[in-house]
Structure 1
Amino acid sequence: MSLNLFIAVACVVAAILLTIATVRFFFSARQPQTQAAFKDQPAETHASAGDTLRTRRSDNRESIALLTRQLVVSAILTLLVLLPALVRALYPNVVPGWMVEPWVQAIIITPVMFYSGAPIHIDGWDALLRRMPNMNSLASIGTIAAYAYGVLVCLFESAMPQAMREPYFEVTGVIITLVLFARWAVDMWLPHRPAFPLQERVDRVSRVWVPITILIALWTFICWLIFGPQPSFTRALLMGISVLIIACPAALGWAAPLSAGAALDDAQRYGLTVRTTSALQQAKDTSVVFVSSALATRAEQAVAQLSGTGVAIAEVDARRTDEAVRALAERRANGATVMFIGDGSEDVRVRDAADIAVACVTLDNPEAAPIHADVIAAPADYACALKLIRLSKATMRNIRENLWWAFIFNLVGIPLAAGVLYPFTGWVLNPMLACVAMILSSICVVLNAVRLRHCKLDGAW
Structure 2
Amino acid sequence: MSLNLFIAVVCVVAAILLTIATVRFFFSARKPQARPAFKDQPADARASAGDTLRTRRSDNRESIVLLTRQLVVSAILTLLVLLPSLVRALYPNVVPDWMVDPWVQAIIITPVMFYGGAPIHIDGWDALLRRVPNMNSLASIGTIAAYAYGILVCLFESALPQAMREPYFEVTGVIITLVLFARWAVDMWLPRRPAFPLQERVDRVSRVWVPITILIALWAFVCWLIFGPQPSFTRALLMGVSVLIIACPAALGWAAPLSAGAALDDAQRYGLTVRTTSALQQAKDTAVVLVSRKLAPSAGQAIAQLSGTGVAVAEVDARRTDEAVRALAERRANGATVMFIGDGSEDVRVRDAADIAVACVALDNPEAAPIHADVIAAPTDYACALKLIRLSKATMRNIRENLWWAFIFNLVGIPLAAGVLYPFTGWVLNPMLACVAMILSSICVVLNAVRLRHCKLDGAW
Both proteins in one fold, TM over 0.5 = yes
8 A contact 1:125–1:137 mirrored in 2: yes
CA 1:45/1:404 → structure 2, altered by over 3 Å: closer, same or farther? closer
Q: Is the 8 A contact 1:243 1:417 kept in 2?
A: yes
Alignment partners' CA distance in 2, 1:73 and 1:185: 16
Q: State the secondary structure of the residue aligned to 2:358.
A: strand
Question: Cα gap change, 1:54/1:245 in structure 2, threshold over 3 Å: closer, same or farther?
Answer: farther
Tell me if structure 1 keeps the 8 A contact 2:263–2:452.
yes
The Cα shift of 1:366 comes to 3.8
Q: 1:11 to 1:367 in 2, by over 3 A?
A: closer
Deviates most, 368-377 or 271-280? 368-377
How far apart are the structure 1 equivalents of 2:45 and 2:327? 43
The alignment of Structure 1 onto Structure 2 pairs a total of residues equal to 461
CA change 1:95–1:41 in 2 (3 A) is farther
1:171 aligns with 2:167: no
Deviations 1:48-82, CA, capped at 9 Å, x for gaps:
99999999897521111111110111011000000
SS of equivalent to 1:34? coil
- Distance in 2, matches of 1:47 and 1:111, equals 38
Correspondence for 1:279: 279
Shift in Å, 1:46? 27
Of residues 42-51 and 377-386 in structure 1, the stretch that sits farther from structure 2 once superposed is 42-51
| Residues 273, 367 of structure 2: 8 Å contact kept | no
Structure 2 CA distance for partners of 1:408 and 1:316, relative to 1, 3 Å: same
Please list the CA deviations of residues 395-439 of structure 1 after superposition, one character each: whole Å capped at 9, or x if unmatched: 000000000000000000000000111111111001100000000
Bigger relative contact order, structure 1 or 2 (CA pairs below 8 A, ≥6 apart): 2
Q: CA deviation at 1:313?
A: 0.3
Structure 1 residues 55 and 77: alpha-carbon distance in aligned structure 2, compared to 1, 3 A threshold: farther
Contact persistence 1:362–1:379 (CA under 8 A): yes
Shift of 1:309: 0.4
Deviation, structure 1 residue 194: 3.2
Distance verdict in 2 for CA 1:53–1:235, change over 3 Å: farther
- Return structure 1 stretches of 4+ with deviation > 6 angstroms: 40-58
Residue 460 of structure 1: CA displacement?
4.7
Distance 2:439 2:42 in 1: 36
SS, match of residue 58 in structure 1: helix
Which shifted more, 371-380 or 173-182? Answer: 371-380
SS in 1 for 2:318: coil
Distance verdict in 2 for CA 1:449–1:254, change over 3 Å: same
Report the CA distance between 1:239 and its aligned residue.
0.4
| SS across alignment from 1:318 | coil
Contact 2:328/2:353 (<8 A) preserved = yes
Aligned-pair CA distance for 1:193: 6.8
Shift of 1:38: 3.3
Q: Which moved more, 1:187-196 or 1:20-29?
A: 187-196
Relative to structure 1, the CA distance from residue 51 to residue 271 in structure 2 (aligned partners, 3 Å threshold; closer, same or farther) is closer
Q: Distance in 2 between matches of 1:453 and 1:288?
A: 27
Structure 1 residues 368-408: Cα deviation after superposition (integer angstroms, max 9, x where no partner): 84542100111100000000000000000000000000000
Q: 2:53 touches 2:190 (CA, 8 Å); kept in 1?
A: no
Contact residue 137 and residue 210 of structure 2 kept, 8 A: yes
State the 1:350 CA deviation. Answer: 0.5
Contact 2:49/2:372 (8 A) holds in 1: no
For the residues of structure 1 that align with 2:47 and 2:281, how far apart are their CA atoms? Answer: 30
The 3-state SS of whatever aligns with 1:265 is helix
CA deviation map 1:123-154 (0-9, x unaligned):
00000000000000000000000000000000
**Cα separation, 2, equivalents of 1:83 and 1:365:** 43
Cα 1:206/1:45, change in 2 over 3 Å: closer
CA contact (8 A) 2:127 2:137 kept: yes
Q: Which residue of 2 aligns with 1:40?
A: 40
Distance 2:308 2:34 in 1: 45
- Rounded to whole Å, the distance in 2 between the matches of 1:57 and 1:364 is 19
Whether the aligned pair in 2 keeps the contact of 1:197 and 1:278 (CA below 8 Å) is: yes
Cα distance in structure 2, aligned partners of 1:44 and 1:66: 28
Change in CA separation of 1:365 and 1:243 when aligned onto 2, cut-off 3 Å: closer
Q: Distance in 1 between matches of 2:236 and 2:51?
A: 35
Question: Residues of 2 paired with 1:101 and 1:370: CA distance?
Answer: 57
After superposition, what is the alpha-carbon deviation per residue over 1:346-377, rounded to whole angstroms, capped at 9, x for unaligned? 11000000000001111125488454210011
Deviation at 1:35, TM superposition (A): 1.0
Deviation of residue 249 (structure 1)?
1.5
Distance 1:343 1:388, change over 3 A: same
Percent of aligned positions that are identical: 93
1 CA distance for matches of 2:354 and 2:322? Answer: 13
> For residues 180 and 451 of structure 2, what CA distance do their matches in structure 1 show?
23
Query: Contact (CA 8 Å) 1:57, 1:194: kept in 2 or not?
Result: no
- The structure-2 alpha-carbon separation of the partners of 1:370 and 1:344, relative to structure 1 and needing over 3 Å to count, comes to farther
Equivalent-residue separation in structure 2 for 1:28 and 1:111 (angstroms): 37
- Change over 3 Å in CA distance of 1:51–1:212 after alignment to 2: farther
Q: Secondary structure at the match of 1:42?
A: coil
Whole-angstrom distance in 2 between the partners of 1:454 and 1:158? 55
